[in-house]
Amino acid sequence: MPPAWASCPDVEVVFARGTDEPPGVGRVGQAFINSLRQHTRKNVGAYAVNYPANKDFLAATDGANDASSHVKQMANNCRNTKLVLGGYSQGAAVIDIVTAAPLSGLGFHQPLPTEAADHVAAVALFGNPSGRGGGLMSALTPNFDGKTIDLCNQGDPICSNGNQWKAHLGYVPGMTNQAASFVAGRL
């Protein structure tokens, strides 16, 4: 089988699924990718971040290491491919680590060098747990200023002080389309 970069897409979405979703990009990720394809009419590839996505939230660093490693590979092998990072719920926390942690620590050992981060055109986050902390993660590195859309449905208990679980499950299609429009504008 040829390496993933044997055929470089115009755009590649590196997406981390939410807790307990089966391996792949998940429901929110797939809806976002489909909408992005419609908004851009470009060849949009997808990479599903490899991590457990289970109740062990410390394993989010496994996903961050995998996502960061993939971004570095794409930046080195597909120099003209625009990269988009995305995540839903726990997957948003995975991407927070990649975009906000400029140093190794707590199991994260693949920080993105600036030259790799420069290949990231946009970041789309849905139901991000760091929203409950005021979005502190995004304040750690300036590499993604103006490139990030961090969406939280009103009432979502994961990203706000809400108490409506259905709000956490309701990102498709409204918010995925909104994020795709934002990202398309940065491609």
Predicted confidence at residue 1, as pLDDT, reads: 39
Domain locations in the chain as residue ranges: 13-184
Which residue blocks in the chain are alpha helix, DSSP H? 26-40, 60-77, 90-100, 114-117, 165-168, 174-184
Cβ-contact 78, 101 below 8 angstroms = no
Predicted confidence at residue 22, as pLDDT, reads: 96
Could you tell me which residues come within 8 angstroms of residue 16 by beta carbon, excluding any fewer than 6 positions away? 29, 49, 51, 53, 63, 67, 86, 87, 88, 90, 91, 92, 94, 95
From CA 168, how far away is CA 32, in angstroms rounded? 15
Structure tokens at 177: 């389309």
Residue 86 backbone class (left: φ over 0; alpha: ψ -120 to 50; beta: rest): beta
Predicted confidence at residue 88, as pLDDT, reads: 98
What is the widest separation between alpha-carbon atoms in the chain?
A: 47
How is residue 108 annotated by DSSP? B
Task: Look up the pTM and report it.
Answer: 0.92
Catalytic residues: 89, 156, 168
Predicted confidence at residue 6, as pLDDT, reads: 60
Predicted confidence at residue 2, as pLDDT, reads: 43
Select from 3.40.50.720, 3.40.50.1820, 3.40.630.30, 3.40.50.2300 the CATH code of 13-184. 3.40.50.1820
Show pLDDT as tens, one digit a residue, over the chain (187 residues): 345 446 899 999 999 999 999 999 999 999 999 999 999 989 999 999 999 999 988 889 999 999 999 999 999 999 999 999 999 999 999 999 998 877 787 788 888 888 888 899 999 999 999 876 655 454 556 678 889 999 999 999 999 999 999 999 999 999 999 999 999 999 9
If we measure between CA atoms, which residue out of 157, 152, 156, 159 comes closest to residue 175?
Answer: 152
Predicted confidence at residue 11, as pLDDT, reads: 97
Q: Which helix (H) or strand (E) holds 45?
A: strand 44-48
Q: Phi and psi dihedrals of 181, rounded to 5?
A: -65, -45
From CA 36, how far away is CA 33, in angstroms rounded? 5
